[in-house]
Amino acid sequence: MSDGALSQDEIDALLAGVDSSSTSTPAPVMAAPIGGDEERRALQTFLAGTVDAQSSNLSMMTGKDVTFRGPNVVPMTREDILQQLPDMVTAVKADFNSGFPGEHSFLFSEDSAKAIASLMNKEENIQLDEMAMSVLGEVVSQLVGSQITALTDKTGNKSIASVSPEAANVPKAVVALPGGTFMCATYQITLGDGRSHQLWEIFGPQSALDISQALVGRAGPAPVAPFAGMDTGAMPNLGAMGAMGGGMPMGGGMGAMGGMPAMGVNMGQVQSVQFPSLMPGTATQEQGNIGLIMDVFMEMTVELGRTRKLIKEILGMGEGTIIELDKLAGEPVDILVNHKLIAKGEVVVIDENFGVRVTEIVSPMERMTETLG
């Protein structure tokens, strides 16, 4: 007779949303549309074309010779990938919220997450605390940024964007995974120590299908939306209105309908207005000649804070004078390039030298507000 306590297997099953006490056959999960083998190969080929850039980015961030290999892209279900994952994983959610919206995440083993965070922070025996999670979120942000740049170039879709990555170290049973069948890309990573680490990248069914179909050129054009509030079923044939009123002219002059300007509109050619995207990082076509200025020096400064003083107060300063700044203790410091705010960070000490760890990249809108303010 049970004493009411749950076993670890029962706890894991409950966390995963599975009733382990049920003896009935579970209802089959409907396979989500993720495309066929051609789409899978297209996604794998695309991701394989980004591994050199990913290796270079992570090498620069860690100061070590980091190498990506792969990936191998296969359809999976939750049960499939849980069999591959260690008991504890670091899951980083980075869903696409425009362009190809859908679920998207990266999974590291606990050991791999610690190894990467240790290299980034120049610390040994690091704990996967909030700071380490922030570091791993920044790593994934760089990986996703490279993918978005390459995907924009491949598909011509300039609206691709993702949410800010959020990392958490959790038991594998509670990892948020897409339902049904999704695409999983598995990479092998070496971090300069000879050891190989595994990285899993998860594409939800919808984003996997949309991306792969765009890569093979099967994505159809977006339908043209009707005018708001207009009943398209009762829409008049404006092209036929020229026959009204005894051959009313439909050109640019004044027609016979009470002096109304004639409307020569062909509704079959109506298209939605295309506005330029305001998302950062989408104007890749304007960056083609960026290499010409890569060796130009720019002044980078870190500003602890500011204050305003009267001239008489400044003239009265001497040794020991304390200047109160407008920053609160613990607030991020400002990072400026050519006196323009580009990022915020926190002060660190590296081998007795001060440094700044970047914690936030300032958006173009915030930079504009700062400039105008």
pLDDT of residue 265: 44
38 pLDDT more than 80:
yes
pLDDT of residue 10: 55
pLDDT of residue 256: 39
Cis peptide before 71 (omega within 30 of 0): yes
* Of 128, 123, 179, 174, nearest in space to 357 by CA: 123
* Of 222, 172, 174, 180, nearest in space to 203 by CA: 180
CA 107 to chain centre: 15
pLDDT of residue 63: 82
Work out the pLDDT band at 120, boundaries 50, 70, 90.
Answer: confident
125 pLDDT more than 90:
no
How far apart CA 364 and CA 50 sit, in angstroms, is 26
DSSP 8-state class, residue 167: E
246 pLDDT more than 50:
no
Record the pTM. Answer: 0.53
Work out the pLDDT band at 9, boundaries 50, 70, 90.
Answer: low
- Highest averaged pLDDT of the listed ranges 2-6, 13-17, 45-49, 226-230: 45-49
90 pLDDT more than 70:
yes
DSSP 8-state class, residue 310: -
Are 277 and 158 a contacting pair, CB within 8 Å? yes
242 pLDDT more than 80:
no
pLDDT of residue 62: 81
pLDDT of residue 286: 46
Distances (CA, A) of 133 to 67, 82, 110, 130, 264: 22, 22, 11, 5, 60
Q: Is 339 exposed, middle or buried (0-12, 13-18, 19+ CB in 10 A)?
A: exposed
Higher pLDDT, 89 or 223: 89
Work out the pLDDT band at 210, boundaries 50, 70, 90.
Answer: very high
- Give residue-wise pLDDT tens across range 166-196: 999 999 888 989 989 999 999 999 987 778 8
> CA torsion, points 268, 272, 274, 279, in degrees to nearest 10?
-150
Q: What three-state secondary structure class fits 333?
A: strand
Q: What three-state secondary structure class fits 132?
A: helix
Residues whose CB is less than 8 angstroms from the CB of residue 327 and which lie 6 or more positions away in sequence, other chains included = 304, 305, 333
How far apart CA 203 and CA 120 sit, in angstroms, is 26
- Give residue-wise pLDDT tens across range 323-371: 888 888 778 888 988 888 889 998 888 877 888 889 888 876 666 555 4
235 pLDDT more than 70:
no
Greatest Cα pair distance, the chain, in angstroms, is 95
CB atoms within 10 A of CB 287: 10
Work out the pLDDT band at 33, boundaries 50, 70, 90.
Answer: low
Specify the fold of 296-372: Surface presentation of antigens (SPOA) (2.30.330)
* Of 347, 335, 341, nearest in space to 364 by CA: 341
Residue 179 exposure: Cα atoms within 13 Å on the Cβ side? 4
Q: What is the mean pLDDT of the chain?
A: 76
Helices (H), the chain: 8-15, 37-48, 51-62, 78-84, 110-121, 130-155, 205-215, 244-247, 311-315, 364-372
- Give residue-wise pLDDT tens across range 265-304: 444 455 555 555 555 544 444 445 566 677 778 888 888 8
160 pLDDT more than 70:
yes
Structure tokens at 181: 């069948």
In this structure, whether the domain defined by 27-215 belongs to CATH 3.40.30.10 is answered with no
Give me the residue spans of the domains in the chain: 27-215, 296-372
Q: What three-state secondary structure class fits 14?
A: helix
Taking each helix axis as running N to C, give the angle between helix 110-121 and helix 51-62, from 0 to 180 degrees, rounded to the nearest 10. 50
Are 359 and 344 a contacting pair, CB within 8 Å? yes
pLDDT of residue 27: 44
How far apart CA 316 and CA 311 sit, in angstroms, is 9
How far apart CA 12 and CA 211 sit, in angstroms, is 33
* Of 284, 333, 339, nearest in space to 305 by CA: 333
